[in-house]
Every structure is written in structure tokens, then in C-alpha cells.
Structure 1
Amino acid sequence: MITLLIIIIFILICIILFKTNVEKKRNNTLKYIQNKLNKIINENTNEKLLVETEDKELKKILVEINNLLDFNQKILADYRKKEISISKMLSNISHDLKTPLTVVLGYIETIKLDNNISKDERDLLLSNVYTKALEVIDLINEFFDLAKLESGDKDITISRVNINEICRKSILEFYENLTSKGYEVSIDIPSTNIYVLGNLDAIHRIMNNLISNAIKYGSDGKYLGLKLTYDDNCSYVEICDKGKGIEEINVDRVFERMYTLEDSRNKLYQGSGLGLTITKRLVEKLGGKISLESKPYEKTSFIFQLKRITY
């Protein structure tokens, strides 16, 4: 009887010691986690929690904490990227606003200080002032349009739209100007009416932005193509040129805010750098996608797709 009692006491002591040891290990692990998290947060590092433990419940917690750290690091990286993008955008907008405003001030000073200026010269300067003022207004409007799109404040009504008609109307607005400058214009729009989920004004602006972009940056090739295709699910609009194109390293950047080609500050290529960003945001608002493929002096294509409606 005494022997049995001793055995029971021994077993109980072992259990208590085991539980105490387990609890001590868990407490040490929790203390490590706390200290490590403090370090990660205070020093803003990309470290993870690496703990060897046989505690299944603790393992689950560690996995979720590491997932949370990954998510937090992604949010911080996106935030820093947006900060850099916004800083660059503000810098470029300041440049683009300063340039025409400086010119405007120069014209006004000439009109104000030159008492011998003729009526024709005055009218020409006033015309230049008007043109430059319109450039400033256009830039400001583009900036606010992009801000509204990215903040979700711009409502776009989605309805059933005939994409064929928009394509015809958009290319016709440029056709006479293109042919007068010696462009080869290729238009491939099927006779079958294709309907998509979209917005008339938004698609028209997308088309105008892409065609204007092709003319501005692809003028060396003297070619502009528009092709409309479709499958059971989507319609695809391709706008292409045969100009200098875009190097592969820059293909992923063309839709970024304020991104312009290296010579975009040149008079021939002057632009706000917002057009393609606005285009991408509009396509996404319509539930579509846009892509770019470019082989310099062979073919540079922007293709946007929208969901097709078959009824």
C-alpha cells in the first residue's frame, strides 16, 4: 500500500514538474516574441518570428503573426512607393505649371511695357497668352480627374455600349489630320455590332488618350492602327504605331503617375504624364484591363479589354 502511494506521489511530482517546465518554456517563448515584436516595430525591420516549439497552438499563433508582419510590410512598401510617386508628381506638376505661367508673364510684361507694340503684335501675344492659359487649365483638370478616380469620388455609370460606334467616332476625329500629315491609317472594325459593359464618355476618353499618345510618341513611324476584335467573353481594342516605341525596362512604368519618356520635356513631346494613368484607371473602373507591347520602330500596341455583352 505504501509502495503504491509512493508511486502515485512520484507520478504526480513528475506531472507537476513537466507542466512547470512546459509553462516555463512557453513563458520564455512569449517573452521572446514580445521582445522581437518590439524590435521589429521600433526599428522597422523586415524580420520574422523564428521560434522552434512543439506547442501546436503557439505554432498557429506564430504563423498568423508572421502573416500579419508580411501584410504590414507590404502596406508600408506600398505607402512609401505612393509617397515617392506623389512627390514626383507634385514636382513635375510644379514644373509643368511654372513653364507656361512664366511664358504668360513674359507676354504680359511685353504688352505692358512696350508702348510701341503694334496691334497685330499685341493680338498675337494675347493669342499666345490664351493658348498657354488653356494648357494650364488642361493640366489642372487632368490632375483633379486623376485625384477623383483614385479616391473613388468619380462616379461612372456602367451600361450597354456599342464599342464599334465609339471606335469609328474616335478614329474619325483624328483621321483627316493624320492623312494630311502623311500617316498611313489602318482601321479594322468588324461589321458585327459588339456590345460591352462600359460608359460612353469614359471609353471615348480612353480612345482619345491612346490615339493622342500614339500620335505624340509614335510620329516617327507615320502609322496609326486601330483594331477591334472579340471573343465570347470580351472585346479587345488595339491602338498601335510604328514609332520609336518604349524600351522593355520602361514598359511597366508607363501607367505610373507623371511618368513620361526621357524626351517628354522636349517641345515635341511635352505632356503632363497623367494621360496614360487616367486611361488605366478608367479602364479599371469599367472592369477591364489594359496592356502594352512594344518593339521600337516595328509596333507599339496598347490593348484594352472590356467585358462583352451578347444580348
Structure 2
Amino acid sequence: MIWCLAAVSILLGMAVIVLLMRYRKRSRQLAYIHDKLNSIINTGTNERLLIFDYDKQIGQLLRNINQLLDHSHRAGARYAKLEIEIRRMLSNISHDLKTPLTVVLGYSEILLHDRELTEHEREAMTSNIYDKAQEVLNLVRSFFDLAKLEAGDIEMVLSKVNVSELCRLKLLSFYDLLTSQGMKLEVAIPDVDMYVMAHTEALERVLDNLIMNAMKYGADGKLLGLTLEALNSGKVAIQVWDKGKGIPEQEHHRVFERMYTLEDSRNRLYQGSGLGLTITKRLVERMGGTIGLNSIPNKRTEFTVVLNTN
């Protein structure tokens, strides 16, 4: 009996020692987690916590913490990128507003103070003032439209749209402008009409933006094309392409960013706000579609919009 009590006491003692050792080890692990997290928060490093495999509960906790740190790091990177984008956007806004307003103020001052202007000169200056004021108004509208799109404030009810007929009408509306620029038109639209689920006004704006973009950047190639194709997936692809200078491969990922323009496009006839393709992408996505770019400079640059048929 005494031997049994002694054995039980020894076992209990060993159990207490084991529990005490585990407690101390877990305490050290928790202290490590506390200190390491403080260090990561205070220094802003991208470090992660070591995983202790011999303690399943602590190991799971560490894995969850690391996942949270990964998420926090990605969110921080997105925020930093957004800050850079906003600063660049504000800089471009300042440039795009300052240029036409400077012209307006300059002509206005001449009209106010120069009494020797001929009627023809006054009419020309007044016309320029009107055109530049329209530029400012269109830019402000573009910002307003983009803000509403990104906030989800634009209601977009989709319906069956005859995309074949819409493309034909849109190209017809641009025909005189294209020919005046010496650009030829190449069209591939099947005889059988195709339909897509879309919002008519939104799809018209998408086509307007893509055609104007092709005219602006593809003028040197003297050719603009539009292809309409039924895909095996039951969708329809609209492709607007040109053979102009194109977009360098390293710039492809940026073309749908706010305020993105190629550096040498800012003084061209069809200068844009840099918001056209951003708005285009948002509109296409709101209609349940996708838009992509493929460009080989001076050979072929194409934007492809894919929309659902039902």
C-alpha cells in the first residue's frame, strides 16, 4: 500500500513538473509573440512569426497571425499605391485644367483691353474661349462620372442590345472625322445581327472612348478597324484596333489607371483627360463584361471587349 502511494506521488510529481515545463515553454512562446508583434508594428517590417510545430494550438495561432500580417501588408501596399496614384492624378488634373483656363484668361484679357481687334479676330478668340471652356467642362464631367461609377451610384439596367447595328451607327458617326484625318476604316461585322446584354448608353460611351483612343494614338498608322465576333463561350467580342505607334509592353498594366496618358500624347489634337479608358473599364465591368489590351507598337494595337449574350 505504501509503495502504491509512493508511486502515485512520484507520478503526480512528474505530471506537475511536465505541466510546469509546458507552462513555462508556453509563457516563453507567448512572450515571443508579444515582443515580435510589437517589433513588427513599431518598425513596420514585413517579418513573420516563427511557427512552433510542437504546440498545435500555438502553431495554429501563429499561422493565423501570419495570415493577418500578410493581409495587413497587402492592404498597406494597396494604400501606398493609391496614394501615389492620387498624387499623380492631382498633378495631371492641375495640368489639364490649367492649360485651357490659361488660354481662356489670355484671350479674355485681349478681348477686354485691345480695342483695335477686328470683328474676325474677336470671333476667332471667342470661338477658342468656347472650345477651351468645353474642355474644362468635359474634364469635370469625366471626374464626376468616374466618381459615380466607383461609388456604385449609377443605376445600370441591362437589356438585349443589337451590338451589330450599334457598331455600324457608331462608325458612321465617326466616318467624316476619320477621313478628315486621312485614316481608312476596316470593318468586320457579320451579316447576321448579334445581341448582347448591355446598357445602350454605356455601350455607346465604351465605343466612343475606344474609337477616340484609336484615333488619338493610332493616327500614324492611318488605319482604324472594328471587328465583331461570336465566341464559342456564348459571348460576343468587340475589338477596336489600329496600326499606330502602340503602347509599350511595360505600360500595358497602367492603361486603365486614372489619368494615364502616354507622355507624347498631351499636345495632340485629340488630347484626353486620361480618364477615358478608366471609365470604359468600369462601364464594361458594370455590364458584366471584360476588357483587355494587346499591343505590338507600329503593327497592331487592339482593345477587346467581351460581353454576355444572356
Per the TM superposition, whether the score is higher than 0.5 is yes
SS in 1 for 2:246: coil
Name the aligned partner's letter for residue 179 of structure 2: T
SS in 2 for 1:303: strand
Q: Which residue does 1:182 correspond to in 2?
A: 182
Q: Which residue does 1:137 correspond to in 2?
A: 137
Q: Which residue does 1:157 correspond to in 2?
A: 157
Give aligned-pair identity as a percent: 50
* Post-superposition CA distance 1:80-137 (Å, at most 9, x none): 1111111111110011101110110000110111111122211111111111100000
Q: Which residue does 1:93 correspond to in 2?
A: 93
Distance in 1 of aligned mates of 2:69 and 2:265: 40
Q: Which residue does 1:47 correspond to in 2?
A: 47
Distance in 1 of aligned mates of 2:305 and 2:158: 17
Q: CA RMSD in A?
A: 1.3
**Greater displacement, 258-267 / 11-20:** 258-267
**Greater displacement, 36-45 / 78-87:** 36-45
Q: Which residue does 1:192 correspond to in 2?
A: 192
SS in 1 for 2:264: coil
> Is residue 241–residue 299 contact of structure 1 (8 Å, CA) maintained in 2?
yes
SS in 1 for 2:193: coil
Counterparts of residues 42-81 of structure 1 (less than 5 Å): 42-81=42-81
Distance in 2 of aligned mates of 1:197 and 1:41: 49
Distance in 2 of aligned mates of 1:188 and 1:62: 58
Name the aligned partner's letter for residue 75 of structure 1: A
> Is residue 234–residue 305 contact of structure 1 (8 Å, CA) maintained in 2?
yes
Name the aligned partner's letter for residue 256 of structure 2: F
Distance in 1 of aligned mates of 2:16 and 2:98: 78
Distance in 2 of aligned mates of 1:253 and 1:181: 28
Counterparts of residues 218-297 of structure 1 (less than 5 Å): 218-231=218-231, 232-268=233-269, 270-297=271-298
Shift of 1:173: 1.0
Counterparts of residues 118-133 of structure 1 (less than 5 Å): 118-133=118-133
> Is residue 188–residue 227 contact of structure 2 (8 Å, CA) maintained in 1?
yes
Distance in 1 of aligned mates of 2:25 and 2:44: 28
* Post-superposition CA distance 1:62-90 (Å, at most 9, x none): 11111111111111111111111111111
The unaligned stretches of length 5 or more in structure 2 are none
Name the aligned partner's letter for residue 276 of structure 2: G
> Is residue 263–residue 269 contact of structure 1 (8 Å, CA) maintained in 2?
no
Q: Which residue does 2:25 correspond to in 1?
A: 25
SS in 1 for 2:192: coil
Shift of 1:180: 4.0
Name the aligned partner's letter for residue 251 of structure 1: H
Find runs of 4+ consecutive structure 1 residues off by over 6 angstroms: none
Distance in 1 of aligned mates of 2:270 and 2:201: 26
Q: Which residue does 1:170 correspond to in 2?
A: 170
Distance in 2 of aligned mates of 1:166 and 1:87: 38
Distance in 2 of aligned mates of 1:181 and 1:235: 30
> Is residue 36–residue 49 contact of structure 2 (8 Å, CA) maintained in 1?
yes
Distance in 1 of aligned mates of 2:158 and 2:69: 38
> Is residue 185–residue 223 contact of structure 1 (8 Å, CA) maintained in 2?
yes
Distance in 2 of aligned mates of 1:96 and 1:182: 27
> Is residue 104–residue 129 contact of structure 2 (8 Å, CA) maintained in 1?
yes
> Is residue 247–residue 295 contact of structure 2 (8 Å, CA) maintained in 1?
yes
Q: Which residue does 2:306 correspond to in 1?
A: 305
Name the aligned partner's letter for residue 253 of structure 2: D
Name the aligned partner's letter for residue 263 of structure 1: D
Name the aligned partner's letter for residue 213 of structure 1: N
TM-score by length of 2: 0.96
State the aligned residue count. 309
Distance in 1 of aligned mates of 2:191 and 2:36: 66
SS in 2 for 1:116: coil
> Is residue 29–residue 51 contact of structure 1 (8 Å, CA) maintained in 2?
no
Distance in 1 of aligned mates of 2:87 and 2:152: 21
Distance in 1 of aligned mates of 2:256 and 2:278: 5
Name the aligned partner's letter for residue 176 of structure 1: D
SS in 2 for 1:235: strand
Q: Which residue does 1:35 correspond to in 2?
A: 35
The unaligned stretches of length 5 or more in structure 1 are none
Distance in 1 of aligned mates of 2:292 and 2:155: 24
